[in-house]
Amino acid sequence: MLQNLPEAIDFHLPIWYNGAFTTQETEKIKLSGDEEELYRQLVCWCCVQRYWYYVLDSPKASDTEYDMIERCVAYIEEEFLLERNRYSPTIRPGSSFPSDYPKFVLFCFATPKESENENE
């Protein structure tokens, strides 16, 4: 199952440009060979993609790509882990409510005005 993964994936991290979120061309993030670290990377990737899809209605990953990554998360959970991450796509459905996402995702998608308010 894990042999189907690419060596690196694009997280489609957002940038705020002209009053809206967009993505910029960035280097893909190299995937770890360690199962626990790889698991965290893939769960984080799923969280970011779900935010694009459910909250912003602007998906960046194809359904095929997302499904493959989610299947790899499920495989790692079944084969290597005793405890699943609470944000795993295998146990937590997608949501259109930003408050349902981990803080790192909210930080990535904070507008300049929201970022200023956090620093006060």
Domain boundaries, the chain: 2-119
From CA 55, how far away is CA 49, in angstroms rounded?
A: 10
Record the tokens describing residue 94, joined without a space. 């997608």
Assessment of whether the complete model's pTM goes beyond 0.85: yes
Inter-residue contact 46 to 63 (CB < 8 Å)? no
pLDDT digits 0-9 by tens, 14-62: 988 888 899 877 779 999 999 999 999 999 999 999 999 999 999 999 9
Distance from C-alpha of 103 to C-alpha of 38, rounded to nearest angstrom: 20
Q: What are phi and psi of 74, to 5 degrees?
A: -60, -40
For residue 37, give both structure tokens. Answer: 């670290």
Which ranges constitute the DSSP H helices of 1-120? 35-50, 63-79, 103-108, 112-119
- CA–CA gap between residue 27 and residue 57 (Å, rounded): 24
Residue 118 confidence class, pLDDT cut points 50, 70, 90: low
Sign for the CA dihedral angle at 31, 35, 39, 40 comes to negative
